[in-house]
A and B are shown apart, each in its own frame.
Chain A
Amino acid sequence: MIELYGTKLPSRLLLGTAQYPSPAILADAVKASCASGVTVSLRREMAGGKGGEKFWSLIQSLRLHVLPNTAGCHSVKEAVTTAKMAREVFGTNWIKLEVIGNHDTLQPDVFGLVEAARILCEDGFAVFPYTTDDLVVAERLLEAGCRVLMPWCAPIGSALGPVNITALRSMRGHFPDVPLIVDAGLGRPSHAALVMELGFDAVLLNTAVAKAADPIGMARAFGKAVDAGREAYRSGLLEPRDLAVPSTPTIGRAVFQ
């Protein structure tokens, strides 16, 4: 159970809905993952088109929390307008705020992100900012009104997994009471388990599941990994040490000479 902006979600996995081989596989993958929320977006509709309606009906049938994004927006204005349009269509004030700053890495324009977050928070949005692991930016986002932070662990779709574990650990330590969701860069279930073991509250991923040979199986694997990582974190992990320590008791050991 995790609480985000006053809403309790049963699982700590949020799943993207893009790039699946088919709508049916998307639906089955979401169910197999036990995700509690899905991300969606808005795109231009063709005249007379019904594509948006079909997709929206499918998402509604899943009966999960919907987190619209502002993917592809490169300016504050674009992101704010897209967020407002998403609120109207999807009927939620939740918004995954993306303000992209670099075409190659898709890393966020953190300056625009903070500005857009302030505008949207003041307008009543529950902002989920896609950000870096920079502590100062995180602080500014909280000052802007964000109550959840979503740092990347690697570039979107890269499948690299956590490239800066020290920074992620530092972020967890600096913001012990802020829900932190690792968003972007996860490639394997073990990556998800790792960030959950660090104490992150949830993960959001898309490509690693959607582009797997078997998206449904991979979705199930990620769901288990998230649960395993969370339970491990709560159970108290053993700190690494340089020297060996025997696990079998040495007292009572037979001596043969």
Chain B
Amino acid sequence: MKLTVNGEAHEITAATLAELLAALDYEGNWLATAVNSELVHVTERALFQLKDGDRIEILSPMQGG
């Protein structure tokens, strides 16, 4: 399945968002996720089904003004 993760193209097998995070070595409760510009809550990741072409954003705390 072709996915775009944080702007980069990935060819990866992951049925759900949670599986994708695990496959790419993302872990921790400081991450926020969005698929196709919509927030996916942490509690929804395990059931959130990905599909070909999805755009995933994985964000974490950063310095800001």
Q: Which residues of A contact B (CB under 8 A)?
A: 16-20, 26, 39-53, 55-56, 59, 68-69, 71, 77-78, 81-82, 84-86, 88-90, 156-157, 206-207
| Given A51-B60, A85-B39, also A45-B65 (CB < 8 A) | no
Q: Are B39 and A18 in contact (CB under 8 A)?
A: no
Contacts of B34 in A (CB 8 A): 81, 85
How far, in angstroms, from A156 to B64 measured CA to CA in the complex?
A: 12
A40 touches B64 (CB 8 A): yes
B63–A45 contact, CB under 8 A? no
Decide if A48 touches B26 in the complex (CB within 8 Å). Answer: yes
Q: Are A17 and B65 in contact (CB under 8 A)?
A: yes
| A74, chain B: closest CB distance, angstroms | 13
Please state if B7 and A16 are interface contacts (CB–CB under 8 Å).
Answer: no
Cβ-Cβ contact count across A and B, 8 Å cutoff: 108
CB distance from B38 to the nearest CB of A (A): 7
Chain B 4-22, CB within 8 Å of chain A: the 1/0 string?
Answer: 0111000000000000000
Residue B1 at the chain A interface, CB threshold 8 Å: no
Distance in Å from the Cβ of B28 to the closest Cβ of chain A? 6
Q: Which residues of A contact B42 (CB under 8 A)?
A: 88
Binding site of A, secondary structure by majority: helix, strand, loop or mixed? mixed
Q: At the interface, yes or no: B32 with Cβ under 8 Å from chain A?
A: yes
Contact status A42-B25, CB under 8 Å = no
Query: With A47-B24, A85-B39 known to touch, is A41 a contact of B30 (CB < 8 Å)?
Result: no
Residues of B within 8 A of A81 (CB): 34, 37-39
A81 to B55, CA, bound (A): 14
Bound Cα distance A180, B5 (Å)? 39
Known: A40-B62, A44-B58, A207-B65. A56 touches B32 (CB 8 A): no
B62 near A85 with CB under 8 A, answer: no
- CB pair B62–A16 under 8 Å, yes or no, is no
Cβ of A214 to closest chain B Cβ, rounded Å: 19
In the complex, which residue of chain A has the Cβ closest to the Cβ of B6? A44
Q: Would B65 and A16 count as touching, CB distance under 8 A?
A: yes
Residues of A within 8 Å of B65, CB to CB, are 16-19, 39, 41, 69, 71, 156-157, 206-207
> Which residues of B in the span 29-47 have a Cβ within 8 Å of any Cβ on A?
30-34, 37-39, 41-42
Which residues of chain A come closer than 8 Å to B63, judged between CB atoms? 16-20, 26, 40-41, 55
Q: A66: nearest residue on chain B (CB-CB)?
A: B61
**8 Å CB contact of A53 from B28, B38, B41, B58:** B28
